Amino acid sequence: MPRFERKPRKHPDQPGDSRADAPVSSGSPGSMAEAEDAAARIAELVRRSAERGARPGPSSVPRTSPTAAQPHPGPAQPVATPVTPPARPTERLLARLPSGRVLIAAGAAVVVLIAGGLALAGQLGSDKAPAATVPTAQASQRSAPAGYAVKATDVITDCASHSHGRTQSSFEEQNCVRATRSLATGRVAGRPALFVVSRIQMPSPEAAATIKQVLDGTGTGNLDDLLRDGKTFPGAPEEMPSSGYTSVQSGAVVTVAEAGFVDDGESSSTDPALRAAAAQVAALVSAQT
């Protein structure tokens, strides 16, 4: 072997060379720098580890074990359902009642409908004659003839002494309570007419019916009118002309009326106009109290 040939160095991995590979603390500048560098790296790692440990993280939040938090599974417990008490009758009635606004609106609608109906009725009836202008049978009977005016009147209580014929005999058997006699003028069918009227009150309706039957008979006489007893008025004739006749009974009262023309023209007891005028006056006087 040559004198200057060195022995080959063993591989560092060989275990037997650990002593030979151990660093030698020679204190050289290179070794010192490496040591300082290693120390700085270690310090930096320590500082970063300390900073991470100071921050709150997921690992710092305590976790509860699911098994510890959840109770042991058991049979399902029934859930208590709140029971609503039944509504009282008054509450149910109030709940069904409409609100105040609905009632006000409904009332306003009813008022509008009524007003519209009245207005429509007025428009429809505007082409018709008023009801007052349409005469009825009762209204015509109780209305006076044209120009009717009472000229003379009196009251008697002894009808037997102011009558003639069979009528006088009847009053002698059953006298009247009292009788009101009158003379009146008016116009019938455009002609002047005279009216004689007697309103006879009897003691009872039966007595009134009896005297009415006698008065209505032919040739049975009558209660004397004012002209026959000499009571008159200016312009009146001396006696009553032939006239239309009628009588009306109302309870115990009998009303007799006659109407005749006084214009020197023909006057007859069968004249329809005179008979109708006499009935009109008798109904008018009978309705008076």
pLDDT in tens, 140-151: 446 889 999 999
Token output for 75? 């049979």
Distance from C-alpha of 239 to C-alpha of 246, rounded to nearest angstrom: 19
Q: What is the pLDDT of residue 44?
A: 78
pLDDT: is 54 or 254 the higher one? 254
**Closest to 148 measured CA to CA, from 197, 181, 198:** 197
pLDDT at 240 over 60: yes
Q: What is the pLDDT of residue 233?
A: 95
pLDDT: is 74 or 289 the higher one? 289
Q: What is the mean pLDDT of residues 211-229?
A: 95
Q: What is the pLDDT of residue 142?
A: 61
What pLDDT band is residue 215 in, cutting at 50, 70 and 90?
very high
| The model's pTM | 0.52
Distance from C-alpha of 52 to C-alpha of 75, rounded to nearest angstrom: 47
Q: What is the pLDDT of residue 232?
A: 94
Distance from C-alpha of 67 to C-alpha of 63, rounded to nearest angstrom: 12
Q: What is the pLDDT of residue 126?
A: 34
Distance from C-alpha of 88 to C-alpha of 51, rounded to nearest angstrom: 71
pLDDT: is 136 or 113 the higher one? 113
pLDDT tens digits, residue range 87-120?
Answer: 555 555 455 555 666 566 666 665 556 665 555 4
Q: What is the pLDDT of residue 39?
A: 72
Q: What is the pLDDT of residue 47?
A: 77
pLDDT: is 9 or 203 the higher one? 203
Q: What is the pLDDT of residue 4?
A: 42
First to last CA, the chain: 186
Q: What is the pLDDT of residue 18?
A: 42
Token output for 176? 């009247």
Q: What is the pLDDT of residue 123?
A: 46
Q: What is the pLDDT of residue 40?
A: 76
Angle, in degrees to the nearest 10, between helices 166-173 and 205-216: 170
Q: What is the pLDDT of residue 154?
A: 96
**Closest to 181 measured CA to CA, from 269, 265, 254, 104:** 254
User: Residue-wise over 189-212: b if at least 16 C-beta within 10 A, else e?
Assistant: eeeebbbbbbbbbbeeeebbebbb
pLDDT tens digits, residue range 16-53?
Answer: 444 444 444 444 555 566 767 777 777 777 677 666 66
The DSSP bridge partners found for residue 181 are 154, 198
Q: What is the pLDDT of residue 135?
A: 36
Token output for 286? 């009978």
Q: What is the pLDDT of residue 133?
A: 32
